[in-house]
Amino acid sequence: MPEETGEMTQQAYNEIVKVRRDKLKALRDAGKDPFVITKYPQTDYSATAKAGFTDVPEGQLGKAVCMAGRMMSKRVMGKASFAHLRDNEGDIQIYVRRDDVGEEAYADFKKLDIGDIIGVKGNLFRTKMGEISVHATEVTLLSKSLLPLPEKFHGLRDTELRFRQRYVDLIMNPEVRRTFEVRSKFIKFMRSYLDGMGYMEVETPVLNTISGGATARPFITHHNTLNMDMYMRIATELPLKRLIVGGLDRVYEIGRIFRNEGMDPKHNPEFTTVELYQAYADFHDMMDIAEGIISGAAKEILGTYDVEWMGYKVNLAPGWKRMTMVQAVKQYVGIDFDAVSDDAAAVAAAKAAGVELAGTADKTWGNALYACFDQKVEENLIQPTFITMYPVEVSPLSKRSPADTRLTERFELFICHSELANAFSELNDPIDQRGRFQKQVELRAKGDDEAGMMDEDYLTAMEYGLPPTGGMGIGVDRAVMMLTNSDTIREVILFPTMKTLGGVKSENGVSSKEVSTPNSEPEKIDFSKVKVEPLFEEDVDFDTFSKSDFRAVKVKECVAVPKSKKLLQFTLDDGTGTDRTILSGIHAYYEPEELVGKTLIAITNLP
């Protein structure tokens, strides 16, 4: 039974489903099977029809219409009834009278259920209440709804169910449809903007033999015929720059990217970006394009430069702030890295400000600068801000700055402390590029599974000559989040990634394991490889064990700890009346959102 049936019991729900199936059987027995209908002459739509209904006196019939859609309400009142039909443009009221449609047809209409798909022929008219409606002369059942819609007319309450059953969400919540209309318009605007600048839209492979173009953990799959592992793309950058080498001077691709990483309100394993590259341009040109696309889309789609996102009022009018990373860190952290001359002093200054470098990061001036920005500055960037001149350590594909070779000609665009775009003056020196690839390989050898790989073919392409090039990627999902004031990426992806309920069917070829049932044999667990926590690894006796405070706790909140691949931070209700916050290194096995609301067993007195 769907969760969103209010106070309806399982028995009542089952009875409704049975009644609907009985109605379908009766229709089939009577030779009125709706599922044999293959087409309906829908010529009119609700909003367009209502907009065109003018200069018709009250009570008189207007133009004839033929509409189709889902019946969202029904009120039977003796010999006449009202219903609401929802089509591609919105809702319109239907007036059905026995004397107009015939006694048998009216009896059939009264048996229809909310959620049924119907076709309606009739004439427009205005009711005494002033509502433009369709005076029906014919009603046809086109598809029988065998499951009841949620009782709440204004949409689903359960957020997870909304994402799992987006089709029901779209039926019940018109605002969800509006979100995806904005998404479609934004992508259309981007295409028009770039096409107008002479860019060519292209398509590059999703499956690759090497993972590159970004710092991220890839999904790995296997090609049976070639008997080789392949990587789903984590970026489109390197194939697109190969096209620049080949003489396609302005190219872009709007496409899906796949990264096997954590999920949170801003991240989904598959997401959409636009990447574009222009020969003989630099990162300043890319800033102009980013500002033009996003501010222009807001004005065209929303009619204003002013938007609200994450509780902030944001002005997208052109003229966005531009500042270097050194300037930003000086303003928000108080460290002037221009005045810091060596690596040790830079790392010490960062540590004094409460900033720790990543475990695999070299203790360098550039890594210290970036860590300060990442941990202390991003959260302050609310209005549109371009942060420029990134350290070379974190920019393996970007051209060094001639003014300071520790830095690169790179920018990221931040709005409401979220990154929306990333761009470079592209590195076109193949010798320098090989050295940076090698550095990524070394990081990978140290255990950084997000580091890049050596791409010999791309280096070969560069050796043929890559012209000075500007390149940029814009996160389509985050841009749509901003334009629709959505607080999670799952609101702007029609079918976001969700953990399966009850496992995956073996016949899908994805998993050969059966879903466990109450009658199945208990799982045999091998405890021989269990690693004891360091606190107790030398001696765990009964007295020590008996001092552990085990409690059943309810997870109120769970979030990934920034810059940690293992830790989750829990806010727990342990029954004391005071929320308890703990950390646990189980991110490799669970995503934060799937633990919220769960009841767990926790040891609450570990030091």
Listed residue (135, 120, 125) closest to 61, CA to CA: 125
Whether 189 and 311 map to the same domain: the answer is yes
3-class secondary-structure state, position 68: strand
Whether 316 and 329 map to the same domain: the answer is no
Whether 364 and 407 map to the same domain: the answer is no
Q: Is residue 521 in some structural domain?
A: no
Q: Which domain holds residue 162?
A: 10-170
Last-in-domain residue among 311, 346, 373: 373
C-beta of residue 291 within 8 angstroms of C-beta of residue 305? no
CA–CA dist 482, 420 (Å, integer): 10
Q: What is the structure's pLDDT at 580?
A: 84
Strand ranges (E), 446-549:
469-475
CA–CA dist 264, 241 (Å, integer): 31
Q: Is the dihedral of CA 74, 75, 81, 84 positive or negative?
A: negative
Structure tokens at 93: 């009221």
Count of domains for the chain: 4
C-beta of residue 16 within 8 angstroms of C-beta of residue 6? no
164 pLDDT more than 70: yes
Residue 138 pairs in a beta bridge with: 121
Alpha-helix residue ranges (DSSP H) falling in 112-155: none
Q: What is the structure's pLDDT at 599?
A: 85
C-beta of residue 100 within 8 angstroms of C-beta of residue 109? no
Averaged pLDDT for residues 159-176: 91
517 pLDDT more than 80: no
Q: What is the structure's pLDDT at 573?
A: 85
Whether 352 and 442 map to the same domain: the answer is no
Residue 252 pairs in a beta bridge with: 201, 276
Whether 335 and 421 map to the same domain: the answer is no
Range with the poorest average pLDDT among 285-299, 388-402, 434-448, 552-566:
552-566
Range with the poorest average pLDDT among 78-87, 350-359, 434-443, 533-542:
533-542
Angle 365-372/325-332 helices, nearest 10 degrees? 60
Last-in-domain residue among 147, 170, 193: 170
Which CATH number does the domain housing residue 451 bear? 3.30.930.10
Structure tokens at 462: 């560069």
Listed residue (172, 165, 246, 238) closest to 204, CA to CA: 238
Whether 592 and 486 map to the same domain: the answer is no
Which CATH number does the domain housing residue 115 bear? 2.40.50.140
504 pLDDT more than 80: no
Q: What is the structure's pLDDT at 514?
A: 36
For 462, residues 6+ apart whose C-beta sits below 8 A from its C-beta are 245, 428, 429, 430, 433
513 pLDDT more than 50: no
Averaged pLDDT for residues 380-403: 94
Whether 37 and 136 map to the same domain: the answer is yes
Q: Is residue 102 in some structural domain?
A: yes
Q: Is residue 501 in some structural domain?
A: no
Whether 109 and 158 map to the same domain: the answer is yes
Whether 240 and 345 map to the same domain: the answer is no
Tallying the residues shown for the chain, one arrives at: 607
Summarize the chain as % helix, strand, coil (round to 5). 30, 25, 40
3-class secondary-structure state, position 293: helix
Whether 189 and 73 map to the same domain: the answer is no
C-beta of residue 207 within 8 angstroms of C-beta of residue 221? yes
Whether 51 and 188 map to the same domain: the answer is no
CA–CA dist 103, 187 (Å, integer): 50
510 pLDDT more than 50: no
Quote the pTM value: 0.80
- Which amino acid, residue 405? T
Cα Dmax for the chain: 92
Q: What are phi and psi of 492, to 5 degrees?
A: -115, 5
Q: Is residue 5 in some structural domain?
A: no
